[in-house]
Every structure is written in structure tokens, then in C-alpha cells.
Amino acid sequence: MNWKNYFTTSIGKKILVGATGLFLILFLVVHCYVNAMIFWCDGGKHFTEAAAFMGGNVAVRILEIGLFLGLGLHIIQGLMLWSQNAARRSVRYEVSAGNKTSKWYSRSMGLLGTLILLFLILHLFHFWAPNRYGQAFDAGWKEEDLYEKMMVVFTPMWVVIVYLLGCFSLAWHLMHGFYSGFQTFGLATNRYKGIIRSVGVAFAILIPLIFASMPVYMHFMANSHP
Amino acid sequence: MQHYNMNLTLKVWRQRNNKVKGHFETFQVKNISSEMSFLEMFDVLNEQLVAEGKDPIAFDHDCREGICGMCSMHINGRSHGPWDQTTTCQLHMREYKDGDTIVVEPWRANAFPVIRDLVVDRSSFDRIIAAGGYVSVNTGNAVDANALPIEKQKADESFAAASCIGCGACVAACPNASAMLFVSAKIAHLALLPQGDPERKVRAVNMVQQMDTEGFGSCTNIGACEAECPKGISLENIARLNREYVGAVFSGSPRG
Ligand code: SF4
Ligand code: FES
């Protein structure tokens, strides 16, 4: 046994999911912080500056590669755990305990994660992909006007609704994921588990709520200034 | 509380062995006293079946006082029935009313194959213990109580972990059929004591390896195990096992 086959054991696998999950939580904080600048009500001036910094910075670009790797690992490992674990009980129970012994979102991480992934594909297609494409081919490595783009993207109501559903899935995914990451690293001891759970719940509500208010806000901005 | 008698409908899993498919069979039992234990109710049913010339239902039991961990039954979706921190033998019929229907299934996990009806083969647990859940030097007779000082908190935590009776309810309750609560209880029990300390790394690596080999699922921190454990083994033990394991793997790679 050495650290090389460590990541293929049951504990190693969950460490991978936990580590990448905590990394993605950090990313959410940064993403949320930068995007929340649209609420300055300055026609997107602050936000555009911050977005240009994030978009035109080499260090951030390198971190972005790490982000995609982490995201990929999290998704692949998570889905593999989901399917492998489902195969550990070939004959299912006739009656199951349901919510009496555990939370529905803790049992549904694979499903919630898949919903987030579907949302993410649409989201990358809306903003990230056209922006990078534009940088490379049209604007000479300049950031697109993402504020303007948000207004355009969020004009139709159905897009706003899909984004809200994405945030909803994210909230429940985090409701389990935040605490779970700390438990996986062995940090949720009797002493700290109370605070980790509370911070986790606050995080799982707050961050998706701020994210959710963005498409709503931009939808109304777009429709009030045609 | 008033004693009363009841008639019940039981839907019980029948399976001849692990080669054939099982099915549910429905039985009526009459005049069950509210003072009987759940297993005594099964005794009544089995006597009735024997008198009718039918095959009695096979189920595991031994101590019937909540300490051996044999009485594995999944009752209306709950491991050992609906009472908290209770084994099936300690579940009493006052939980039920006249006319109730109760569904009884075996522990379901591929690592616990059905031997017959409600009896499952839990020798995978024995093999996990054999992989390292012991202290390999002979420690002789019990020493004088205070000859070997152990911090109070560690002694208490170790004792709490040692109360695991190896019943398998954690596996039965876990949506992933994971054995992490059981393994973590054994790891915590020994790692916290000076007698178990020298082998803690090898033990963590080997027991986890055996747990994986036996085909238990991976823990995803759902927590149904803790909710169903008859001995109140805490999830904190799993946190400890994760720490022990990471520590063991990244500090000197003990041989498995
Ligand atoms: S941890 Fe609890 S549920 Fe699991 S085997 Fe031990 S006593 Fe039974
Ligand atoms: S028969 Fe021993 S614990 Fe139930």
C-alpha cells in the first residue's frame, strides 16, 4: 500500500471528491464576489473592470485550467461513486426508511450534481465560451462586455428560470457537500461539527441566493432599459 | 400502560439460499401480546407454521438481550425496527396496533449474502477484523486498573467505540451499503488505547483494504448508519478513520 494506489481505495475516492469539492467551494466564493459587482448600479462599470482583470490575467487563466481539472475530477469521481455504490445492493428493499434516517439531499448528490452539470453546460455556452472565443479571434485578448451580454442572455424569461433551477440544485448540493467535505478530511469532530454544519447551511443558502438574484436583476434591468 | 392483544399481517422475505431468488410471503398472526418482543412474535408464528407442517422462517438470534448483534431484521424499512438504539430482540410489540401490517426483510447488501430467509452471512465482518482489528502481542492478564494511565477523554471515546456489537445495521441502513461505521468503530477503539497504538497504521490500511475487497460501498457521509446503530456509534469515528487512514498512507506507507 502506498499513496499511488491510495486514490483507488474507498477512502481515497471520497478524499478526491471532497478535496475537489472544497476547491470548487472556494471558486464559488470568488465567482460570486466578482459577479455581485453588477449590483453597484453603475451600469456595470465596477463589474466590467473586475471581469477584465479576471479575464485578462495570466495567473487567473492558469488557475482556470486547474479549475476545469478539479471540476472534471469531481464530476467523474462523483458519478463513478454514484454508480459503483448503487451496485453494492443488487436486491433493493421493499420498504425503505426514506427521510426518517437521512436527508433526501444527502442521498441525491449524484442527481443534484447531474442537474448542476446540465446547467453548467448551458452556462459555459452562454458566457465562458463566447468570451474566450471572442478574446482569441475578434477582440485581441480583450474581455467582451459581459454586462451587456448578461442583459441579452437574461432577456427571455425561460433562461432566468433555468438559471434559478441551477441555483436551486446548487443550494441542495452544497447543503450536503459543505459539511461532507470537512467530514471526509476528518475535521468534523464532536467539537467542530456543530459550527461546520451551521456555516455549511448558511453558505448553501447565501451563495446560491446571491447567484439567483443575478439573472433576475439583469432580466429587469434589460427590460427596463430597452 | 394497558396490556393488549393484537392480530397482525406479516409480509416476510423467504429465500431458500443465495443461489435462488427470494419472494415475500404473507402470514396472519393472532393474539400477539403487547408485552412480547418482536422475536417472540416470530416464535409464535414459527410454532404455528410447524404445526401446519410448513417450513418455519429462519432468523438469526442469540442473546435476546441486545448485546450480541445477531438479530438482523429490516422492519418496515428500518434496521432493527423503528426504535432508536434498539436491537430487534429489544423491540417490543407495544409499538404496534391491532390490524397492522409489518414488512420484514433481511439485511440487504451484496457483502451480506442471504443464507436463508432472514439470515445473512456476515462473515465479511469477521474477515475485516481478522485483517487487523486486534492487538497482536499477548498482553497477559488484565493489569491493575491504574497501572497504565489513559486520559479520561480517550478512555471514554475508546469505550464508546468499543460498544459496537458488529450487528451490521449500519451496512443495512446505508444507501451505499458501506461498512465505514463498523470499521471506524474498531479503528477508533484500538487507536485510542496505548495497547493498540503501535499497530494503528498497518491496522487502518489493512482493515480498509479488506473492507473494499469484501464489496462494501464507499461512504458518502449520508449518516443513516449513525441513525440506525443500536449502540449509538457516532459519525465522529468515521472522521477519525479518515484521519487515521490519510496519516497511515502518507507517513511511511506501512506494508499491507
Ligand atoms: S457500528 Fe453500530 S450498526 Fe454498525 S455494526 Fe457496530 S453496533 Fe452495529
Ligand atoms: S439477539 Fe442478541 S442483540 Fe438481539
Structural domains of chain A, with CATH: 3-87+104-224 (1.20.1300)
Range of B194's domain? 123-251
Residues B112 and B127 in one domain: no
Joined together, the cell numbers standing for residue B222 give 449520508
Strand pairing partners for B79?
B74
Which residues of A are less than 8 Å from B78 in CB distance? 97, 100-101
Centroid of ligand 2 to alpha carbon of B60 (angstroms): 8
The torsion angles phi and psi of B218, rounded to 5 degrees, stand at -90, 140
Nearest-10 crossing angle of helices A157-184, A109-123: 130
Q: Report the residue of chain A nearest B236, measured CA to CA.
A: A189
Q: Is the Cβ pair A10, B178 closer than 8 Å?
A: yes
pLDDT at residue A213, as a whole number: 93
The pLDDT of residue B105 is 98
Ordered mean pLDDT values, 10 residues apiece, chain A (226 residues): 71 92 95 88 81 81 90 94 94 93 95 96 88 70 76 90 96 96 91 93 96 92 72
In this prediction the ipTM stands at 0.89
Q: What residues are in contact with ligand 2 under a 6 Å CB criterion?
A: B 61-64, 66-71, 87-89
B96 grid coordinates: 404496534
Q: Which long-range contacts (CB under 8 A, 24 or more apart) does A201-207 make?
A: A201/A175, A203/A25, A203/A174, A203/A178, A204/A171, A204/A172, A204/A174, A204/A175, A204/A178, A205/A171, A207/A28, A207/A29, A207/A32, A207/A170, A207/A174
Average pLDDT over residues B188-211: 94
- Same domain, yes or no, for B96 and B201? no
Domain at B51, CATH number: 3.10.20.30
User: How far is it, in rounded angstroms, from Cα A44 to Cα A26?
Assistant: 24
Residue B7, pLDDT > 60, answer yes
Whole-angstrom distance, CA of residue B81 vs CA of residue A171:
33
Tens digits of residue pLDDT in B36-79: 999 999 999 999 999 999 999 999 999 999 999 999 999 999 99
> In terms of domains, do B144 and B197 share one?
yes
Same domain, B140 and B209: yes
Query: What's the CA gap between B138 and A21, in Å, rounded?
Result: 45
Query: Considering B116, B138, B165, which residue would you say is the last residue of a domain?
Result: B116
pLDDT of residue B206: 94
Q: What is the pLDDT of residue A131?
A: 78
For B103-117, the pLDDT digits (tens) are 999 999 999 999 999
In the reported structure, the alpha carbon of residue B229 is separated from the centroid of ligand 2 by a whole-number distance in angstroms of: 13
Mean pLDDT of chain B: 94
| Whether residues B160 and B81 fall in one domain | no
Residue window 7-26, chain A: list those with CB within 8 Å of chain B. 9-15
Number of domains present in the structure of chain B: 2
Where residue B151 falls (left for φ over 0; alpha for ψ -120 to 50; beta otherwise) is beta
Ligand nearest to the CA of B162: 1
Q: Which residue of B has its CA nearest to A18?
A: B220
Q: Verify whether the Cβ–Cβ distance A1 to B78 is below 8 Å.
A: no
Q: Does B111 share its domain with B136?
A: no
**Record: contact B216-A88, CB cut-off 8 A:** yes
Distances (CA, A) of A203 to B94, B223, B240: 44, 20, 25
Asked if the structure places residue B256 within a domain, the reply is no
Residue from B249, B250, B253, B255 to probe the interface with A (highest A Cβ count within 10 Å): B249
CATH of the domain at B247: 1.10.1060.10
Q: Helix, strand or coil for residue A150? A: helix
Longest dimension (CA), chain B: 64
**Of B90, B116, B142, the domain-final residue:** B116
B151 and B204 both lie in a single domain: yes
B16 and B106: one domain?
yes
Average pLDDT over residues B21-33: 97
Provide the β-strand partners of residue B5: B33
Residue pair B158/B193 in contact by the 8 Å Cβ criterion = yes
Task: Please list every residue in chain B whose beta carbon sits closer than 8 Å to the beta carbon of residue A89.
Answer: 108-110, 177, 217
More confident residue, A136 or B169: B169
A chain contacts of residue B228, beta-carbon cutoff 8 Å? 97, 101
